[in-house]
Structure 1
Amino acid sequence: MIPMRLRTPMPPMEGATKWLNEGGFQAKDLQGKPVLVHFWAVSCQICHEVMEEVVSYRKKYGSQRLQIVGVHMPKRAADIDVDKVKQDVAQYHIEHPVAIDNHHKIREAFQNEFVPAFYLFDQEGKLSFRAAGNKGFANLEPKIEQLLQ
């Protein structure tokens, strides 16, 4: 699978088997705002290691209109248990919308194969940065700050 190229428009956030924390969330609400799409899985150790910092971006950059959308992408059969995802959402105090992507529809639209993975879109809805793993995560916050300048 060829990774999504920079400046590619954000794919539709369609095909989730369930949404958590959606509170009336609709993908059209993301238009005109910078967006971080964060792919993760309950069985991913690195995902757990970086989750608190990812969650902190909501408060840290929310006043600058950064929107965060989580996508739980199961990597193992046990990952499709929505109750496990809900436990992680509660444990890490995740307040942003989280798509449960048990059929990998969103994963396919984003051409993503990894967790954790981070897709940062600018105010025009175009991909400005993508990364995966803890090494990629290390580069994420400077890219968010650069985008919000």
Structure 2
Amino acid sequence: MPMRLGSERPELTGATQWFHEDQLPADLSDKYVLVHFWAVSCHICHETMNDLIKYRDQYKEHGLQLVGVHFPRYEADTNIDKVQEDIAKYGITHPVAIDNLHKMAESFQNEYVPAFFLFDKEGKLFFRTAGDRGFEKLQPKIEQVLGLTQA
């Protein structure tokens, strides 16, 4: 069963490796957190990455913290060199967890890429979605949780 709205944000533990972990605040309380599950073999992930990076930069000053979770769908996705190539290609400077053992995906009750989990300042799930159609709904929800638009 998927994670319900209002659920507590799971701990960001279980990663087999991190990239840009120094960009992850030690304390995420009082932050709006967007957790993004993606995979190097995911075409839609690549199509949406530039816009996601734009959102990261556009809403950072409003308190949005983006955390990527590379969630491999196939054995070939566990190749860290390919992940590093995508990190360089897309200019990913936010923290990225490598979830080769699927521990983070399990804690978020997630089985999709791309998938997006948006948490409010209290650490409660405000919005979740997946796929390209779901991505189309993400920016308005980011603006809503940040208080930049009317509900």
Q: Could you state the TM-score of these two structures normalised by the residue count of structure 1?
A: 0.96
* Cα distance in 1 between the residues matched to 2:23 and 2:128: 27
The one of 40, 46, 49 aligned to 1:48: 46
Match of 1:90 in 2: 88
Instruction: Report 1:53-72 matches (<5 A).
Output: 53-72=51-70
Q: 1:30 aligned to 2:55?
A: no
Instruction: Report 1:1-149 matches (<5 A).
Output: 2-23=1-22, 25=24, 28-149=26-147
SS state at 2:122 partner: coil
SS state at 2:27 partner: helix
* Cα distance in 2 between the residues matched to 1:14 and 1:80: 18
Cα 1:37/1:4, change in 2 over 3 Å: same
CA RMSD of aligned residues (A): 0.9
Shift of 1:25: 2.7
* Cα distance in 1 between the residues matched to 2:98 and 2:17: 5
Shift of 1:24: 5.9
Per-residue CA deviations over 1:64-96 (Å, capped at 9, x if unaligned) read: 010000000000000001110000000000010
AA partner of residue 17 (structure 1): T
* Cα distance in 1 between the residues matched to 2:78 and 2:41: 10
Check whether the contact 2:127–2:141 (CA below 8 A) recurs between aligned residues: yes
* Cα distance in 1 between the residues matched to 2:88 and 2:27: 24
Q: How much identity, in percent, do the aligned residues show?
A: 58
AA partner of residue 50 (structure 2): E
Q: Could you state the TM-score of these two structures normalised by the residue count of structure 2?
A: 0.95
Aligned length: 147
AA partner of residue 18 (structure 2): W
Extract structure 1 runs of 4+ deviating beyond 6 A: none
Cα 1:51/1:24, change in 2 over 3 Å: closer
